[in-house]
């Protein structure tokens, strides 16, 4: 802009004043366009594209078998799957009605445990137990029992795990620590990762940020993840914390992009998060003595919700 203005001054003369004014207008136009582009570039938050304010979602009840729904995942062809808390049973859901369209189990009767997350990578399904064991299996036929393999990373020594997601960019599974048990991770948000190629734990945490950074964004000094998902277009990491009634969005490298408050009236215990192919964001809540629920949030251009 300064170069254009200097050029106008050097030309001088009354007969060139129109050229100077034109240069000035051009410079201002470029400045405005540049500002718009900068704002568009800064507005990269996924959560900004959804109105998460109270009553803005479309909620449906789940069957009683999913009263304690504990995780959501979508397949490459866009189907929605869920699981419950105490038995390794997998349910395909109609996201519009919440009805079960198919179910199958891990093992003949569905193994028992404390299951806290589900994820899908191609034809590979994964379910997470709170002690860090990962069960790998393939999709089963209706009412079938499928074989599974257990990967034990002995993570119970360092974390209580909750939430599971696939990051296609790094070809890893992501596992958030709900409660850290290692002194070196005290008061930090930790997300671990497992290579899908080798099924080995990556040495360094994928995310390791102090909780005080979340506190600065108004989330308080605690954040206990209950679910995690990777946004399919941007690669951003979205984490939900049922206890704190909050969501946080991070870049793949752990920079905080956005935070959101969830209203207890809408989300008494959010335990699952997924994105549908059309961009719809879905949250699943345990029923707390009632039926579990699915709540759909359509993607909007204006965004909304209550940030912190």
| pLDDT (0 to 100) of residue 109 | 87
| pLDDT (0 to 100) of residue 289 | 87
| Two structure tokens written together for 307 | 């940030």
| pLDDT (0 to 100) of residue 300 | 86
Q: For 73-114, what is each residue's pLDDT tens digit? A: 999 999 999 999 999 999 999 999 999 999 999 999 889 999
* Cβ contacts of 14-23, under 8 Å, gap ≥ 24: none
DSSP letter for each residue of 118-169: EEEETTEEEEEETTS-EEEE-PPPTT-EE-EEEE---GGGTEEE---EEETT
Q: What is the dihedral of CA 190, 207, 230, 167, to 10 degrees?
A: -110
The dihedrals phi and psi of 102, each to the nearest 5 degrees, come to: -165, 150
Q: For 178-192, what is each residue's pLDDT tens digit? A: 999 998 999 999 999
Reading phi first (left if > 0) and then psi (alpha if -120 to 50, else beta), residue 41 is in alpha
Is pLDDT above 50 for 304? no
Is pLDDT above 80 for 67? yes
Q: For 116-135, what is each residue's pLDDT tens digit? A: 999 999 999 999 999 999 99
Q: For 131-176, what is each residue's pLDDT tens digit? A: 999 999 999 999 999 999 999 999 999 999 999 999 999 999 999 9
Mean pLDDT score, 287-291: 91
| pLDDT (0 to 100) of residue 40 | 36
Contact (Cβ atoms closer than 8 angstroms) between residue 187 and residue 211: yes
Mean pLDDT score, 187-213: 96
Q: Under CATH, which number does the domain 50-297 receive?
A: 2.120.10.30
What are the distances in angstroms from CA 63 to CA 75, 126, 152, 181, 264?
A: 21, 23, 32, 35, 21
Residues pairing with 270 in the sheet: 285
- Characterize the bridge pairing of strands 165-167 and 293-297: unpaired
| pLDDT (0 to 100) of residue 307 | 52
- Strand runs (DSSP E) across 5-155, as ranges? 58-61, 69-74, 80-84, 89-93, 100-106, 115-121, 124-129, 134-137, 145-146, 148-151
Provide Rg for the chain, Cα atoms.
Answer: 24
Residue 44 confidence class, pLDDT cut points 50, 70, 90? confident
Among 15-29, 225-239, 268-282, which stretch is predicted with the lowest mean pLDDT?
Answer: 15-29
**pTM to 2 decimals?**
0.84
Q: For 20-29, what is each residue's pLDDT tens digit? A: 455 544 444 4
First to last CA, the chain: 37
Mean pLDDT score, 263-285: 96
Domain boundaries, the chain: 2-36, 50-297
Q: How many other C-beta atoms are found inside a 10 Å radius of the C-beta of residue 204?
A: 7
Percent of the chain with pLDDT over 70: 83
Is pLDDT above 50 for 3? no
Task: Report which of 76, 135, 131 is spatially closest to residue 110, judged by C-alpha positions.
Answer: 135
Is pLDDT above 60 for 12? no
Q: How far is CA 19 from the centre of its chain?
A: 53
**Mean residue pLDDT across the chain:** 87
DSSP 201: B
């Amino acid at each position: 802009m300064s170069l254009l203005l200097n050029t106008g001054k050097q030309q001088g003369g009354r007969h060139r004043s129109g050229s100077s004014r034109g240069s000035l207008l051009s410079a201002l136009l470029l400045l405005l366009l540049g500002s718009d582009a900068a704002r568009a570039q800064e507005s990269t938050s996924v959560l900004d594209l959804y109105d998460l304010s109270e009553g803005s979602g479309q909620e449906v009840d789940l069957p009683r078998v999913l009263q304690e729904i504990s995780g959501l995942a979508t397949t490459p062809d866009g189907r929605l799957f869920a699981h419950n808390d105490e038995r390794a049973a997998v349910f395909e859901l109609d996201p519009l009605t919440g009805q079960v369209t198919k179910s199958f189990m891990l093992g003949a009767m569905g193994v028992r445990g404390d299951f806290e997350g589900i994820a899908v990578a191609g034809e590979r399904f994964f379910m997470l137990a709170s002690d860090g064991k990962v069960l790998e299996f393939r999709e089963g036929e209706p009412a079938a029992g499928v074989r599974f393999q257990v990967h034990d990373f002995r993570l119970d020594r360092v974390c209580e795990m909750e939430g599971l997601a696939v990051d296609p960019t790094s070809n890893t599974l992501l596992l958030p620590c709900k409660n850290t048990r290692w002194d070196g991770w005290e008061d930090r948000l930790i997300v671990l990762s497992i290579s899908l190629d080798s099924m080995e734990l990556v040495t360094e945490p994928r995310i390791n940020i102090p909780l005080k950074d979340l506190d600065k964004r108004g989330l308080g000094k605690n954040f206990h993840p209950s679910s995690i998902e990777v946004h399919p277009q941007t690669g951003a990491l979205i984490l939900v914390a049922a206890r704190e009634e909050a969501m946080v969005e991070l870049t793949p490298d752990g920079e905080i992009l956005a935070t959101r408050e969830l209203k207890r009236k809408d989300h008494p215990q959010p335990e699952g998060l997924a994105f549908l192919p059309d961009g719809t964001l879905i949250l699943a809540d345990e029923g707390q003595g009632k039926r579990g629920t699915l709540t759909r949030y359509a993607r909007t251009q204006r965004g909304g919700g209550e940030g912190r």
